[in-house]
Structures are given as C-alpha cells and as structure tokens.
Structure 1
Amino acid sequence: MSVKAKFLSLIFPTFLMIGCAGFSDHTVYISEQQIQSKLNDKLVIPLSLLKVFDLSLSNANVKFDHATGRMHTKFDTQLMNQLTGKKMAGKLAVSGNLHLDASTNSVILNDAEVDDFVIDGVEPKYADAMTGIAKMLGSQLLNGLNLYTVKADSLKVGKTQYYPKEMKVTDRGLVVTLSPYH
C-alpha cells in the first residue's frame, strides 16, 4: 500500500467521524442557579393584585423534583398596600410543571400553583383571604412564564442548526437534548 493510500485510509475515517458529529444530539444543562437568576431578573417589577396591593418578589430559591417533574420555588416578598402605604414582608412558595417549547427554544412554567403565602404580622382572619387571592391570581400571573431560553450559540454548532427535542428534570437541574435539523 502506498503512503498516499495509507494516509487516505487514516484521514478519511477521521473526516467522516467529524462530519457525522454534526448530525448527533447534544445536551445543554440548566442549573437551579441559572433559573433563580432569570426569575429574579423577570420578577423585579412588582405584580399588581386587584390594584390594591403591589407584590414584589426577590431571592428566588429554586429546587427541582425529578420524581414529579415539578419546580418548587420560594421567594421573599414585599407587599405594599396602595391604600395605606404600609409595607409588609413575607414568603411565597410556588410550584409548577416545566414544559419545553421548541418553537421559542424556551423552558416554560405551566400549571403554576401558589403553595403557600405568608405575610408577617397579618391576623389569621385576613391571612386566609390573602392566601386565597394570592393562589387565584398567582397561578394566572405565573402560568406560561418563560424561565429560560436556550442560547443561540448552543443551537448552532459549525454549520449545523439544532432544535430543543426533549427536556429531563433532575434534582440538580434540567437536561435539554438538542437535535440537528435534517
């Protein structure tokens, strides 16, 4: 076998493997901290509740539950009564299912539920009413919230364009599988 033939027999499989690598799936990992940061950025603007209260959320603490596929989040809250000007602090706990929207390359919060809403110093008779309002309005305001968009540089490797194919919830984060367009 000539040197040229040996060279081609070694280099051809290498180029073939490199070329085929552009046709395989790859994964993107999204951590709890990345989602927390996005939530803190998105929810910096106060939410208006019945045009009487402004609810500010901060310090998101996100935990993923791989068994149920749900995300559980606790927030520090500031509730401002627009009528009296009084500010109150508390905690809000929210959970929801996560959905991968391939059309927007995003992770979306669905089936959002307010699990707990506690405002410090509120009398029990008012606390139940406030929790009921928060549960009703909170799920409406948070359903469909875009939690994370896969970065453009993850969606294109070389000349190959990828799309989000599936997402798996783990206890440490999200694993998004990207597949090439054919």
Structure 2
Amino acid sequence: MNLLEKLFEGLIWRSRYAVLFAVVASLAAALAIFYIATVDVAYMVGHLLHYADPNLDAEARKAIHDSTVTHVVEVVDGYLLGTVMLIFALGMYELFISDIDEAKGSKASSKILVVENLDDLKQRLAKVIIMILIVTIFEMALKLSVGTTLDLLFLSGAVALIGLALYLTHASDGSDRGGGHPAGPGH
C-alpha cells in the first residue's frame, strides 16, 4: 500500500469521529427535553394542590382533573421524546465510535441501550416513536368532542390502527428473534 492510499484511508476512517457532534447534540437535546418535562411535572403538582380545596365547585374540579390528565399525557410524550434522543445518542456512539463497556458489563443496563447494528438502532427508535404517536393520539382523543357518529367512527378507526401497529410491532419482534410459533409437525 502506498503512502497516499494509507493516509487517505486513515483520514476516511477517522472521519467517523464527526458522529460525536450528533452524539453530544442528541444528549443535550435529551437532557433539555427531560428538564422541560420535569419542570412541567413540578408546575402540574403545584396546580394540583388546589384540587383538594373544599371551596372548589364541581365544574372547577373537573376542569383541573381534565387539565391534569392532558398534562400527564404531554409529560409522558416529553419523556418518550427524550428517551428517543438518548437511545439515538448511545446507538450512534456504539455504532461509529466504540462499544460502551459499562453498558455491556452492568446488570442494571437495559438491553434497549445496547445497539449491535444500524437496523437494531432503527428498530429501537421505531418502537419508541410508535409509543410517542400512541401518546399523541391519546392526547388528541382527550381533547376530541364526539359530536357525530362519524367522529366516533374516526376515533374507533384510530384506536383500531393503533392496535394493528402494536400487533405488527410485536409480531416483527417475534420473527426477528426467532420467536413466534415453534416449527413443529403442523407448521
């Protein structure tokens, strides 16, 4: 191998460290989203203290209840989005830079944080994104006023599609791991 080829290949190989910008930015975004969701929880708890006020009428109590349920869904959505960014950062680091030794040796680490290849990262992100979409649809359903039969039909269709998405996600998990039904005499 001549010197120019060796230098060029070394440069190309070391260019993978540019991924560190995405890793650091994704970690920063995850921390920012976790912070925002946590501040939202703190404010929500502060507003909930008024819920037990004996002078509160039923209509005001219902408004606090509905608002709280909506805020809880928004907080879950925020934490899920932060989780997506965290998984993305860890996955990109493991794919392009180095394995995270603490993750592989720790009993406390989750298998979701260990990424073997790009398809593995995409699958893990897709699962969390599906959960974000489910939470978002749930949030929209809470705000939806069902006025006509068509509204109820659309809501039912959305719920059915969510169920189908979860089923297909679960079915693909079984086929990826060699799970599902065992291949016996009848299969």
TM-score bracket, normalised by the shorter chain, equals under 0.3
More helix by share: 2
For normalisation by structure 1, the TM-score amounts to 0.26
For normalisation by structure 2, the TM-score amounts to 0.26
